[in-house]
Amino acid sequence: MTTDSTPTIVDSDGHIIESIEEMAEFLDPPIRDTALGTGGIGTIIELSKTSLFGTLDGLHFTNVVPSDNATARRERINASGHRMGSAQDWQALLDKSGMAETVVYTTEGLQVGKLRNRDYVVGLCRGYNDYVADCYQRYDSRIHPIALIPMQDPVRAALELRRAVKELGLLGAMLPSTGLDLHLGHEYYWPVYQEASDLGCILAVHGGSNVGIGIDSFTSLTTSGIVHHPVPLLYAFVSFIYDGVFERFPDMRVAFLEGGCAWVALALDRIQRAAEFSGAPPRPAEEYLAGGNILIGCEGVDPTLPYLAGRVGIEPFAYSSDYPHEVDFKSAMDEIEETVNDDGLSDDQKAAVLGGNAKRFYRL
């Protein structure tokens, strides 16, 4: 619970949890049949208990070893008695926590980059965007869902991005960090970046599936989780710089979420080292981070944050609740309190991380 002395809090990265039953009415009929378990393919999916998007990877939701973390040792505390991750649950969290606003991302759609049938992806993203606009954004104006777009087909992805922003009023779209055939800086995706620049909306690279990043043999969600969120963010950040995306689209705003901020220190050091021996980026990497067009999500005060604030400034970093994924309501509130009480940041820096930076970046 926040107090009168707590800075304004804007959550830069929470999560909805989709309801297939709610979402079905927004889907094209063939996809609706799949979602509801009717028709041939839908019946198979219903029988196998597979989600609409397939399984995230081989490790999520399969952890059978008791955890030693504090949240796991006690009973989970959600924000409400409503369906976890629903609009009603999020409304209760905002009311109880004192958060001013939240920007929320998909749960099942984190794996959208793995899908291969382009027509299916186009229809699914369109239905998802209609669903979150109607059931979340219109339910409470403090909840800001982020769209999904079919990056497998950049031309149609750009069209859906425009529709999501202009017709539905969404803030922008998520870019899957894994699953796509090409790295995100590749010019194949530039039509999307041009559209985002023209619209003045955000794009957000968000950690998700662990497939295809060199750890397919890992057998533990714990060991996978150490690297499968931050490493793809590092890939995307480096490719955006060296493939000239930030130079070609200087107004594009990009968030890098669900990987903490320590990977940024690694990126800066390795880019600096590469500049000495093989090739310098168009500009020092610190300039990209300090320019106001990049946002890095962090869960409370990550240990590396005070160092990075001294190196590049506090402007890129923003509090991310991740509710209701790895944290419950109590843990999210504890991370805010830890940030408020941390001695490594000034009061102004804390205010920026907890709300000011996200508010500015998302233009809330």
Stated pTM of the model: 0.91
Is there a contact between 301 and 338 (Cβ–Cβ < 8 Å)?
yes
- Please give the Cα distance from 236 to 188 (Å, whole number): 14
pLDDT of residue 64: 46
DSSP 204-248: EEE----TTSS-TT---HHHHHHHHTHHHHHHHHHHHHHTTHHHH
DSSP 280-338: --SS-HHHHHHTSSEEEEESSS-TTHHHHHHHH-STTEEE---TTSS--HHHHHHHHHH
Task: Note the pLDDT tens digit of each residue in 336-352.
Answer: 999 999 899 999 999 99
What is the share, in percent, of the chain residues with pLDDT greater than 70? Answer: 88
**Alpha-carbon dihedral sign for residues 75, 77, 81, 82:** negative
Task: Note the pLDDT tens digit of each residue in 149-167.
Answer: 999 999 999 999 999 999 9
Q: Which of 270, 341, 331, 264 is nearest to 295 (CA)?
A: 264
Task: Note the pLDDT tens digit of each residue in 179-205.
Answer: 999 999 999 999 999 999 999 999 999
- Please give the Cα distance from 310 to 323 (Å, whole number): 28
Which CA distances in Å does 262 have to 94, 296, 297, 317? 28, 10, 11, 11
Residue 355 has which token pair? 């709300």
